[in-house]
Amino acid sequence: MFIESNKGSKASDTDAAKRFIEEQIGIYEKKLQEAEGRLKEFRLRYLGMNPGDGRDFFVRMNEASNQLNQARLELREAERARDALRQGLSTAGDPAGAAPAAAANAAAVAEIDARIESMRRNLDALLQRYTPSHPDVTGPSA
Non-local (6+) Cβ contacts of 113 within 8 A are 82
* pTM (two decimals): 0.34
> What is the C-alpha separation between 80 and 53, in angstroms, rounded?
40
Per-residue pLDDT of the chain (142 residues; tens, 9 = 90+): 556 666 666 777 888 899 999 999 999 999 999 999 999 998 888 766 655 555 666 777 888 889 999 999 999 999 998 888 888 887 765 555 556 666 777 778 888 888 888 878 877 877 788 777 776 666 555 3
> What is the C-alpha separation between 106 and 86, in angstroms, rounded?
9
How far are the Cα atoms of 45, 72, 73 from residue 140, in angstroms, in the given order? 34, 10, 11
Classify 139 as helix, strand or coil. coil
End-to-end C-alpha distance for the chain, whole angstroms = 100
- What is residue 88's DSSP assignment? H
